[in-house]
Amino acid sequence: MPDINEVFGGETLKATDLQGREFTLAMASVQAKEFDKGAKLVIKFVGAKKALIANRTNSKRIAMLYGNNTDLWIGRQITLYAEMVDFKGEATWAIRVKQPPAPAAMPGQQQPTPMPQPVYVDPDPMPPLDRDMNDKIPF
């Protein structure tokens, strides 16, 4: 029997595609697309087969990092991760974006101050994140 994700996987990312890990990816293209409930951004990534349908929350988070002009997002990196969210009164996993980790400082250089991340204690955590950022992208 095929896996349900293979049958209905499609060309867009789902939280399960992240397999409990974080991925830092460069944005290859950003396009607006009209859906039943309004427009959303479709973000494609360098080296990934699937695109992210960015909701308002994720779009605003990226805009906080790189500005409102989506043309200027191309080539910039974001980190994707899964987070438990409330959707229509039900808890579900969703993809969220955040600032990518800062590159290691060169000797004698000061490390930039990272953007503070929200503190969230998940009562039903996913497996621990694999912090090795050199993994092959599974999606």
Looking at residue 103, what is its pLDDT?
Answer: 77
Q: What's the farthest any 2 CA atoms get from each other in the chain? A: 57
Q: Which residues of the chain have pLDDT under 70?
A: 1-9, 104-106, 109-135
Looking at residue 36, what is its pLDDT?
Answer: 87
Which residue bears the tokens 């697309």? Answer: 33
Looking at residue 93, what is its pLDDT?
Answer: 96
